[in-house]
């Protein structure tokens, strides 16, 4: 089933900027940004980030406060802190053999780095690739990784797959099936996540007193290393 999907990808694959590099740092930034964030939103932010901090040493030398400010609007701000800590670790020690030793790098991100930066023979299996493999009952080789990402995002989607447009439909045992709706992520509007984000945004503008802020949100941000609390003053990490 691999030749048909590769032929489809050659005609339909997305031209994403991080697919044109083997730089592990640039690839890591893309992978971290893409966690629970749409590709269209990530592209300009990834380009801006790399223009500002083109390598791990540049990012490592920056203050956590500036990294958090630059991350504003991407959500899940702890990702920014983990990325900064990773840059500091790599700048000091180099890339470890076990990439999961890096802050915030799990098994999938480690596999993606190995495959796309160093060309290791490993398939990074995310939700999209796992879905395609489960439905087709085929274990794809690493050379199909980018094609599988796009197929899972555009064609073999979660609830109602677009089998009529799928290059694998001719041999897919799941062709024509429909699936139960996935459990939706809790609403952001009115949630504690929104309160945290709003509080961090205020602190990113300038140092604030605790009386100005949502105290419960401040406590959560402090636990995640996103703010410092000095008596009554709350500010971004120095």
Does residue 182 carry a pLDDT above 70?
A: no
Domain boundaries, the chain: 1-10+121-184, 23-116, 192-235
Tens of pLDDT, residues 100-135: 999 999 999 999 999 999 999 999 999 999 999 999
The better pLDDT of the pair 59, 194 is held by 59
- Residue 180 appears among annotated catalytic residues: no
Residue 183's pLDDT band (cuts 50, 70, 90): low
Does residue 83 carry a pLDDT above 90?
A: yes
Reported pTM: 0.89
Does residue 188 carry a pLDDT above 80?
A: no
How far, CA to CA in Å, does 65 sit from each of 45, 69, 104, 169, 204?
A: 17, 6, 18, 49, 8
Report the CATH number of the 1-10+121-184 domain. 1.10.1670.10
Domain 23-116 has CATH 1.10.340.30: yes
Mean pLDDT of 209-216: 94
Tens of pLDDT, residues 141-157: 999 999 999 999 999 99
Does residue 166 carry a pLDDT above 80?
A: yes
Catalytic residue among 2, 3, 31, 207: 31
């Amino acid at each position: 089933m691999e030749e048909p999907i590769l032929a489809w990808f050659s005609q339909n694959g997305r031209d994403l900027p991080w697919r044109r590099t083997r730089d592990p740092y640039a690839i890591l930034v893309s992978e971290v940004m893409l966690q629970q964030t749409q590709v269209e939103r990530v592209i300009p932010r990834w380009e801006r980030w790399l223009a500002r901090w083109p390598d791990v040493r540049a990012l490592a030398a920056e203050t956590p406060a500036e990294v958090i400010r630059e991350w504003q609007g991407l959500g899940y701000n702890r990702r920014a802190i983990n990325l900064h800590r990773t840059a500091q670790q790599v700048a000091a020690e180099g890339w470890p053999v076990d990439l999961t030793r890096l802050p915030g790098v799990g098994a999938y991100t480690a596999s993606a780095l190995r495959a796309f930066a160093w060309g290791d023979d490993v398939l990074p299996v995310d939700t999209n690739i796992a879905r395609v493999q489960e439905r087709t009952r085929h274990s794809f080789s690493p050379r199909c990784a980018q094609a599988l990402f796009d197929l899972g995002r555009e064609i073999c989607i979660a609830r109602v797959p677009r089998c009529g447009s799928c290059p694998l439909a001719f041999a897919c045992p799941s062709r024509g099936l429909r699936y139960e709706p996935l459990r939706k992520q809790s609403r952001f509007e009115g949630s504690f996540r929104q309160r945290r984000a709003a509080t961090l945004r205020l602190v990113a503008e300038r140092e604030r007193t605790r009386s100005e802020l949502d105290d419960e949100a401040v406590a959560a941000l402090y636990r995640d290393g996103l703010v410092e609390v000095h008596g009554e003053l709350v500010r971004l990490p120095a």
